[in-house]
Structure 1
Amino acid sequence: MTHTTLHARRSQPGGLSLAWMLALLLSGCASLTPPPRDLGTVAVPSAWSVPSAQAAGVPSATDLATWWQRFDDPALTALVTQALQANTSVKSAQAALLQARAQADVQQAGLGPSVGTSASAQRSQSGNNSASNRFQAGFDASWEPDIFGGNRSAAQASETDAQASAASLANVQVSLAAEVATNYINLRGLQTRLAIASSNLATQSETLQITRWRAQAGLVSSLDVEQAVSATEQTRAQIPALQTSVSQALNALAVLTGQAPGALNVTLGKAAPIPPAPADLALAFPTDTLRQRPDVRAAELRAQAAWSRVAVADAARYPSFKLSGSLGLSALTLGALTDGASLLKSVLAGVSMPLFDGGAAKAQVRVQEAALQQARVAYEAAVLTALQDVEDALVAIQGDRERLTRLQAAASAAANAELLARQRYESGLIDFATVLSTQRSLLSAQDSVASTQASLGADHVRLYKALGGGWTPDAATPPEPALGAQH
């Protein structure tokens, strides 16, 4: 960019007056029209659409601050606590927050004057003349008056970026707690399914042994034996796959808690029940939920920071001013600096104005306006995603609750049928095909119950995450714009 720069020292009053008059004239003609801070309107429903959610209580966000304790599982609580302290993603987000805050301090410091000190010693000689010394010491100060608000907007953008980093850190923590809980519930579900498979394998092995005895006695054919062997081996084949999944779940939990894979094999390797899902739903209204979501807050703050950068780019099109001065001492000897030294004073005022830059400044404004539009769209997307997350979790909870009730009834009936079938087969009242069918049905029903119990627990975890995971916005952050009209 091409600039015209005018300087005026105190010893030149005419130049100083000319500089300021020209600057005031140009500033009077300038018309800064910053874009509105409106982030757009997103239609937010007044209530959730799932019927079961309407009758639920509406606790405050603080009720979810430690939502994982609602599962009443000490091991889960310990894992989440460890992960929040040692996970690498949390540490990285904490470092990013420190960087953003330091950058905000740098921008804030630039709003005030800067003061420095200097000292010099010079020894010179010209021709055959004797060498001479000169010693100088003094203070320098400079200040750039922020007439058009560009520096203030840059500082505001950095401060908003720091707030967005804080919200991003909270989002990492919320997501991490949810991921740990989901993996833990999955681990317990896999261990339960492994125990079910092992129990059914033992029952089928007993049935196989009875079938072999009956075949040896000539009461059944070898077909029954082969069918019993096939069913037993199929069940046995499920066990290695489940054991592999259990080991992988343990490794995932170890890494999430900042430990090496295998570190939790001893403490969590022993099977334990699936944590029961809380009986009640902890819900907030949609508008409150959006304010409790750190990712929505981060998207909102990034949009505000983008607005500030538009103002910075707009201010760069207009004159900039600078005031500087110095006060110092000059003497021929070092000792004379404090006794009889000459006093040096100077004041400098300057104005720099862009004359021709080929439209680069205006283009830079358009660049930032486009970035602002992208941030607005990202904010709207975050709001819509948040609403979808809650609705999806509520629908999943409702469906899995009903599914679990039906499956538990089916598993109970399957257990009775399998017991009756074995007793009648041992008495020779029914053929082996009926026994085989009831055993397969029992294994399938029990496995489905365990899987659905784990899914229901994971649904609650996703709901707590969708509700913001108990995060509450910092009271020091700027007020939030309207989220949109309710319908």
Structure 2
Amino acid sequence: MRYRIAWITGTALTLSACAAGPDYRAPAPAALGVPATYDQGSATPIDEAGLANWWTRLNDPALSSLIDNAIAHNLDIVQAQARLRQARESLRQAHAAFLPQVNGSASGGRNYSNQSGSDHWSGSYSVGADASWQVDLFGGLSRSAEAARADLSASGYDLANVRMTIISELVTNYVQARLAQEQLRIARETRTIQQDNYNIANWRLQAGLVSALDEQQAKAQLAQTNATIPQLEASLKGSLNRIAVLTGQAPGEATRALETPAPIPTASTEIATGIPADTLRQRPDVRSAERALAAATARIGVAQAQLYPSLGISGNIGTSANSFRDLFSLITGGVFANVAQLIFDGGRLASQVRAQKAATDGAFAAYKQSVLTALEDVENAMASLASARARKIEFTTAMQASNNAAIMARSQYQSGLIDFQTLSQTENTLLSARNSLATAQSDEVLGLAQLYNALGGGWQNMENRPSQ
């Protein structure tokens, strides 16, 4: 009996080395259409340490504190962490399928009978155990575990992608909040000047120096500026509310400290973008898509293994007696092996194999799409950042020139050398230039955030980080 069990087990383990289905190999960058260099960037090696905490380069402690809170308490991240734990348990379940399943049972009782007017009691006791083991004859269980491992890695990268996205969204809303505060400051300063202009126009009207046209134009200009302030305040409030939710808190008190105006963060200098092949390693969404492809490939083997014979080994051991003291006097048991082979199912299992191959083709297309989209994101981010920096330079010049023109126009209007229409046009140009410069400054920071996000920054130092 002992030698028979050893022979069955050895034969099963030898056959199980022949796993059904294709062995997965990650596609080469060339097969994914990855170019050697970016169209707009340089091939300078990427700074992985700087990529992990890229927001610290903005030198804004308030922003860094908010990001720390978001990483710890954001509910989207909490949900992704829960999905990661689910995937980890699925892998444990897949590994458990390799082990035998053992069930035990025990029973005991007393039987009563009354025969010929006399009471009679008898006992009945039994103890037993059953074991079964499904041998991984053609690698179906191995492929299932391989797919579960890939799913676990994909869930880890999904968590990283959620974290990366939350950081980017938080930076965006923070910058938008500071931009709204800057535009509010500009609007209120402009309102003060325009109130003075209205007072001057009203005084000149009372003195008979101008017609009512100047006074009405000044009044309209002041009202238009006043009308922009509530809209900017609503925009600021919306950004602050979003920041609160991103940090896992209710809007209101959580962002009270941010209501104090502060400057728009200053963007850092040029960053190293590396080469496009780095995207396959740094972007967690791309890594997740690659793991999904690996899982789909492994499931081809799971489906193919169903077409081949299955081998199961089972055994039992037990004892029974009429009295407890004799329970282990006689022990019986047995070991059995059974082989099953599908003969006819109308092509159902073969169809499942073809369906899984189609799913794998789709997973490859999704992986390639994620790679190309990532490259597109990097190119677009570099273009946006370069555009913002170029506009900031020009708007700086425009703001300085407009400010000088406005100073001269106010002096000339007070002296009666120009009409109010000329003054109004000059100050509107200044207001537009100041707002445009502030927007360009915020766009530069947002472009930097967009580029770091496109490069896959913000997850490299996270806990439980998926293996590279």
TM-score, scaled relative to structure 1: 0.88
* Counterpart contact for 2:24–2:294, Cα < 8 Å: no
Measured after TM superposition, the shift of residue 87 of structure 1 is: 0.8
Whether 1:73 aligns to 2:63 is no
Q: What does residue 349 of structure 1 align with? A: 337
Whether 1:471 aligns to 2:459 is yes
Whether 1:402 aligns to 2:390 is yes
Whether 1:212 aligns to 2:202 is yes
Distance in 1, matches of 2:129 and 2:260, equals 72
Distance in 2, matches of 1:475 and 1:203, equals 57
Trace 1:448-463 onto structure 2 (pairs within 5 A). 448-463=436-451
Q: What does residue 186 of structure 2 align with? A: 196
Secondary structure (helix, strand or coil) at the match of 1:120 reads strand
Measured after TM superposition, the shift of residue 122 of structure 1 is: 5.3
Whether 1:328 aligns to 2:318 is yes
Point out where structure 1 has 5 or more consecutive residues left out of the alignment. Answer: 1-9, 480-487
Structure 1 residues 469, 449: CA separation in 2 closer, same or farther (over 3 Å shift)? same
Give percent identity, aligned residues only.
Answer: 41
* Counterpart contact for 2:26–2:290, Cα < 8 Å: no
Deviations 1:429-450 (A, max 9, x none): 1111110111100001101111
1:165 pairs, out of 127, 141, 155, with 155
* Counterpart contact for 1:325–1:347, Cα < 8 Å: yes
Measured after TM superposition, the shift of residue 282 of structure 1 is: 3.5
Deviations 1:422-481 (A, max 9, x none): 0011111111111011110000110111111111111111111111114349999688xx
Measured after TM superposition, the shift of residue 318 of structure 1 is: 1.1
Secondary structure (helix, strand or coil) at the match of 2:214 reads helix
Paired amino acid for 1:188: R
Q: What does residue 308 of structure 1 align with? A: 298
Secondary structure (helix, strand or coil) at the match of 1:115 reads strand
* Counterpart contact for 1:83–1:256, Cα < 8 Å: yes
Paired amino acid for 2:93: V
Measured after TM superposition, the shift of residue 160 of structure 1 is: 1.1
Paired amino acid for 1:43: G
Q: What does residue 369 of structure 1 align with? A: 357
Paired amino acid for 2:126: Q
Measured after TM superposition, the shift of residue 167 of structure 1 is: 0.6
Paired amino acid for 2:181: Q
Structure 1 residues 405, 98: CA separation in 2 closer, same or farther (over 3 Å shift)? same
* Counterpart contact for 1:292–1:470, Cα < 8 Å: no
Secondary structure (helix, strand or coil) at the match of 2:189 reads helix
Q: Name which structure has the greater RCO, CA cutoff 8 Å, separation 6+.
A: 1
Trace 1:62-141 onto structure 2 (pairs within 5 A). 62-121=49-108, 132-141=122-131
Higher deviation after alignment, 57-66 or 368-377:
57-66
Paired amino acid for 1:133: G
Structure 1 residues 106, 314: CA separation in 2 closer, same or farther (over 3 Å shift)? same
Measured after TM superposition, the shift of residue 281 of structure 1 is: 1.4
Whether 1:59 aligns to 2:54 is no
Measured after TM superposition, the shift of residue 118 of structure 1 is: 2.1
Whether 1:420 aligns to 2:408 is yes
Secondary structure (helix, strand or coil) at the match of 2:32 reads coil
Secondary structure (helix, strand or coil) at the match of 1:434 reads helix
Distance in 1, matches of 2:22 and 2:112, equals 59
Distance in 2, matches of 1:78 and 1:476, equals 22
Distance in 1, matches of 2:122 and 2:35, equals 84
Secondary structure (helix, strand or coil) at the match of 1:328 reads strand
1:187 pairs, out of 174, 177, 185, with 177
Q: What does residue 248 of structure 2 align with? A: 258
Secondary structure (helix, strand or coil) at the match of 2:253 reads coil
Higher deviation after alignment, 326-335 or 143-152:
326-335
Distance in 1, matches of 2:377 and 2:221, equals 41
Q: How many residue pairs were aligned?
A: 454
* Counterpart contact for 1:37–1:307, Cα < 8 Å: no
Measured after TM superposition, the shift of residue 33 of structure 1 is: 5.0
Whether 1:221 aligns to 2:211 is yes
CA RMSD, Structure 1 to Structure 2 (Å): 2.6
* Counterpart contact for 1:326–1:347, Cα < 8 Å: yes
Measured after TM superposition, the shift of residue 331 of structure 1 is: 2.0
Measured after TM superposition, the shift of residue 63 of structure 1 is: 2.0
2:377 pairs, out of 342, 365, 389, with 389
* Counterpart contact for 1:61–1:471, Cα < 8 Å: no
* Counterpart contact for 1:293–1:471, Cα < 8 Å: no
Q: What does residue 427 of structure 2 align with? A: 439
Point out where structure 2 has 5 or more consecutive residues left out of the alignment. Answer: none
Measured after TM superposition, the shift of residue 152 of structure 1 is: 0.8
